[in-house]
Amino acid sequence: MTDFILVGRGLAATTLAHTFKNHNISFKIIGLPTLSNCSLIAAGIWNPIVFKRLTQSWLAHKTIPYLNSFYKDCEERLNKKFVYHRNIIKPFSEEQEKQLWLKKSRNELDHFLGEVVDLKSLSLKNYNVSGEGGIVKQSGNIDVASFINATELFFKEHYITEVFDHSLLEHAPDSVTYKGILAKNIIFCEGHLIKNNPFFSWIPMKPAKGEVLLIESMEIELNNHILNKNGFILQTSSGNFKAGATYEWDDFTDKPTEKGKRELIEKLASLVTCPYTITSQQAGVRPSTLDRRPVIGAHPVYSNVYVFNGLGTKGVMLAPYFANNFVFCYLQNQPLNSDVDVKRYYNLLKRAE
């Protein structure tokens, strides 16, 4: 009997697969990647700073050291490069912003806020920012699609490519069976499509659609930085650029829109000054929860039916740390971080019944 059936083919399921492997937990993955684009199109940035308030991103002091070693180990396992350590550059729009940066970089945020620089000194080319800016340390991006594709190749005998039909799941106190696969447990990592899952559709999600543009230009030079000004631009592993992103709360399709394109072109105008060619426009739906925290743990009635979801806008930072938290909870009965524990929503299931 296998330990877990994992349902999903995105960042959540992929990260859990590696974490399970690290702890000798056996698994099968059932999923169809084309149902949700979210992980496949993500920019994959991890940023320890929330720029709006110039504060540390939630738990960044723990998630960033963890993600560094986790993704590095995955690169070694998969023999594939997909991690890019890059500084994020935040141009200042006013003197007050610079002063706050300087103050916090000497105090509580000294781990993450780097020096203030004259943007000219960074040798960027054709960027639409001037004056001074701050450098974020310990930031970067992963090529999420490469990570997922390489993982699927590595674990290929574990994968079953199909739509999971919840009505075919047979449940017993110590096991679950799905189309002849017998497992001790099942864990659902379905992103925003959790709304179709009869076990967990009561979890209050607040999905946010996002769009990005892929552009080509020989004239942009970012010198390995990620530029952030009312949006971001970064160089992809193919040498082109990705720019984003939009937020939309009432369209839950993966279809790119004209409105999204216009918004992204406007964002690009505030980032770069030279002509470029749009090679692709992509859209996906971020699985955010109402309280913007992941949602992880066991179903209140079926103790071997689990959920791992709610990665929202920060899957790259949160998934490795909380996959590890989940595994320690499963293997050693250690508590889940109460902010992410699905228990906080148990009362909603009672209300839904």
Rounded to whole angstroms, how far apart are CA atoms 212 and 282? 5
Residue in 207, 244, 256, 297 binding ligand FAD, rule: CB under 6 A: 244
SS3 sequence of 20-45: HHHCCCCEEEEECHHHCCHHHHCCCE
Rounded to whole angstroms, how far apart are CA atoms 135 and 99? 14
Stretch that binds ligand FAD, among 42-50, 83-91, 92-100, 127-135 (CB under 6 A): 42-50
Stretch that binds ligand FAD, among 31-39, 84-92, 100-108, 129-137 (CB under 6 A): 31-39
For residue 79, the surrounding DSSP H or E stretch is: none
Residue in 245, 305, 323, 340 binding ligand FAD, rule: CB under 6 A: 245
User: Which lies closer to ligand FAD via its Cβ, residue 40 or residue 109?
Assistant: 40
With a CB cutoff of 8 Å and minimum separation 6, the contacts of 63 are: 46, 317, 318, 320, 321
Name the strands in the sheet holding 241-244, side by side, starting at the edge strand that comes first in the sequence: 113-118, 132-136, 88-91, 226-228, 232-235, 241-244, 208-216, 277-286
Binding mask 155-194 for ligand FAD (x = CB under 6 A): --------xx------------------------xxxxx-
Does the footprint of ligand FAD cover residue 59 (CB under 6 A)?
A: no
The two structure tokens encoding residue 95: 């003197």
Report in angstroms how near the CB of residue 232 gets to ligand FAD at its nearest.
Answer: 8
Does the footprint of ligand FAD cover residue 33 (CB under 6 A)?
A: yes
Does the footprint of ligand FAD cover residue 226 (CB under 6 A)?
A: no
| Residues paired with residue 277 on neighbouring β-strands, in sequence order | 216
Restricting to residues 304-343, name those near ligand FAD by CB under 6 A. Answer: 309, 311-317
Does the footprint of ligand FAD cover residue 145 (CB under 6 A)?
A: no
Is-contact 5 183, C-beta < 8 A?
yes
Q: Where along the sequence are the contacts to ligand FAD (CB under 6 A)?
A: 8-13, 31-33, 35-36, 38-39, 41-45, 163-164, 189-193, 210-212, 244-245, 284, 286-287, 309, 311-317
